[in-house]
Amino acid sequence: MTSQLNTQSEIFQRPAIQKAPRDAGFSATRLALQLYGKVSPQKAGRLVNRMAFRPSRLPVPIRYEYLLDSADSYTQLQHGARTIPVYSWGQGPAILGVHGWAGAGIQFGAWVNPLVEAGYRVVLFDAPAHGRAQGESTDLFEIAEVAAKVAASVGRVHSVLAHSIGCIAVARAIADGLQTNYLVMLAPPVSLAAVMENLGRQLGLSPEVLAVHLQLMEERFGATVWEQLNLETLSQSLTQRGLLVVDDDDTSISPEESERVYNNWANANVLRTRGLGHHRLLWSPMVVETVLRDLGRPVDTV
């Protein structure tokens, strides 16, 4: 395993951010599911299963959305009956951004100008049912397929930036044939199973209700769904050079989960930060600068 980056002087230190109070809508949903689960665990589990495939869209205005108007290229890919928007900036080796659940491609907006100035082409897209893409529901297998389709549309992808659950989709796409030289994972969860367990905790679901949801997952995707979307396992076969970024104050994905992924990725470095949480990793200047140093300019990578 490669040595860790020396982050003692690189860590972007800020006071820990207090977790924002849950909004009224989430609290109401949580309470309703708990009450429904007491009446009928089977029906409540089916409702959770339907909800689990329907991501919420980012509230507008979206940070960095103004960059979409200055994209050098805008295309639309068809995935089944749905249209997927694809944006790109710059020339040179392509760097593909893969956002997380309930996110959007433009969440990588802070990376656009630095990477373009370094000589890269930045390619961003919205997964089905996310951002400006069509659709109301999706899943990680579909996101992996779309990521591979976007990559194929721009030619060989030199590097991939992935955030949160998008890291699982990227690892699945790589296992299925997507090729890239360099990979950055920002706050990756250890597996889809862990994500579902966390969902159960957040919603206060009873074991009976959660079990119904998980059984329906297996009926839909097969009993091997948990293995196919297990990043701890998938990372063992990653041969790409890369960087994993984990923040000690991440309250969405446990830092310990990300560490388990790092421990199985033989050719990766790790950057540990504090005070950025789960989302500020996306636009932290220190994180962007560290990735640029590790990635190198195109002339340094050929």
Structural domain includes residue 67: no
- CA 54, distance to chain mean position in Å, is 16
Alpha helices in the chain (DSSP H): 24-39, 41-52, 109-117, 140-153, 166-175, 192-203, 207-221, 225-228, 231-234, 255-264, 285-295, 298-301
CATH code: domain of residue 109? 3.40.50.1820
The residue range of the domain holding 183 is: 90-194+238-301
Read off the pLDDT of residues 130-144 as tens digits, 9 standing for 90 and up: 999 999 999 999 999
Structural domain includes residue 66: no
Read off the pLDDT of residues 38-63 as tens digits, 9 standing for 90 and up: 999 999 999 999 999 999 999 888 89
| Partner residues linked to 159 by β-bridges | 95, 182
Q: What is the mean pLDDT of the chain?
A: 91
Contact 167, 231 (CB under 8 A): yes
Structural domain includes residue 190: yes
| Partner residues linked to 98 by β-bridges | 162
pTM: 0.90
Structural domain includes residue 124: yes
Q: How many domains does the chain have?
A: 1
Structural domain includes residue 1: no
